[in-house]
């Protein structure tokens, strides 16, 4: 009976011992006797670093590289700003890197005004355009770029601006993303010629029943009341100086260049006032 038991148990015992030796020899980690880790190999570091010589996994953080986010995104551009999809979105930058960025933006009284605008709702943007002289129902001729109205009503614009999707139980986004700010600027650029042409007749821009042109007919300079009207606040002296400086860059002998510079000036002030860009 004893022989029968040993004959049954010994093969299993030898298999277990052999499997244990195979596990020790097949491991990628340096092993000493009795499957104990040796102390001569480099350890595996913890998050963001490498362990010291002979250290086991889970060592303290060393000189490993820390990720600053996707280097291919526009967040890392020298002249751009990352607009997160949600104001509570957790940042991936190191707190000290964020502090450096804030310091580079200037003192608190300046940087607190940067990117501080909440997004105009889709309806409010439409009201702004129509009350400043833009016809949102205007359609471009065949082969011509789309009008401001066509851009405004396009599905791509609605997606970029985060228009509410009530069927999906999604409300409208309330601050700008990079794509939203860029799309609004596109609309402002296309709307600018219409605004320049019609602002004198815009009821919201009249004072005591009298309208004002966007640019003075005699001097060609920016008109204070009209510039204030498109921005939605009184124009400052700096606003007027910058507006006139931009117009002065145009070639007065080239009507097309002058019209383009005027349109870009109006679009730039609209974007600065309503997207904080």
Task: Count structural domains, the chain.
Answer: 1
70 domain residue, yes or no: no
The answer to whether the Cα torsion of 169, 172, 175, 178 is positive or negative is positive
pLDDT of residue 56 exceeding 50, the answer is no
* Nearest to 229, CA basis, from 264, 181, 269, 183: 269
Six token digits for residue 21: 């030796």
Question: Which runs of consecutive H residues, i.e. helices, occur in 27-56?
Answer: none
Q: Would 31 be classed as within a structural domain?
A: no
The mean per-residue pLDDT over the stretch 17-33 comes to 53
- Average pLDDT (60-73) is 44
Residues above pLDDT 90, as percent of the chain: 46
Length of the chain: 277
Whether 90 is covered by a domain: the verdict is: no
What span, in angstroms and rounded, lies between the C-alpha atoms of 160 and 131?
A: 23
**Residue 177 banded pLDDT, cuts 50, 70, 90:** confident
Residue 202 belongs to what domain range?
122-275
Predicted local distance difference test score (pLDDT) of residue 100: 84
Residue 193 placed within a domain: yes
- What is the reported pTM? 0.62
Whether 202 maps to a domain, the answer reads yes
Does 102 reside within a domain?
no
pLDDT over 70 percentage in the chain: 63
In a domain, 260, yes or no: yes
């Amino acid at each position: 009976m004893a022989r029968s038991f040993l004959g049954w148990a010994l093969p299993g015992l030898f298999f277990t011992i052999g499997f244990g030796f195979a596990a020790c020899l097949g491991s990628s980690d340096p092993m000493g006797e009795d499957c104990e880790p040796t102390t001569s190999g480099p350890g595996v570091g913890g998050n963001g670093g490498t362990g010291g010589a002979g250290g086991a996994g889970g060592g303290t953080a060393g000189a490993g590289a820390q990720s600053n986010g996707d280097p291919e995104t526009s967040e890392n551009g020298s002249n751009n700003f990352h607009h997160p999809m949600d104001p509570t979105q957790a940042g991936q930058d190191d707190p000290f890197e964020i502090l450096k960025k804030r310091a580079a933006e200037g003192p608190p009284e300046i940087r607190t005004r940067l990117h501080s605008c909440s997004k105009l709702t889709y309806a409010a943007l439409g009201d702004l355009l129509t009350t400043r002289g833009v016809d949102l129902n205007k359609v471009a001729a065949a082969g011509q770029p789309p009008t401001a109205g066509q851009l405004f009503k396009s599905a791509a614009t609605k997606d970029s601006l985060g228009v509410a999707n009530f069927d999906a139980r999604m409300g409208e986004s309330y601050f700008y993303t990079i794509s939203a700010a860029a799309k609004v600027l596109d609309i402002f650029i296309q709307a600018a010629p219409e605004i320049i042409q019609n602002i004198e007749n815009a009821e919201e821009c009249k004072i005591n029943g009298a309208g004002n042109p966007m640019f003075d007919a005699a001097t060609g300079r920016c008109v204070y009341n009209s510039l204030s009207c498109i921005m939605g606040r009184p124009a400052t002296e700096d606003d007027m100086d910058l507006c006139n400086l931009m117009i002065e860059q145009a070639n007065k002998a080239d009507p097309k260049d002058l019209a383009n510079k005027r349109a870009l000036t109006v679009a730039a002030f609209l974007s600065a006032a309503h997207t904080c860009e």
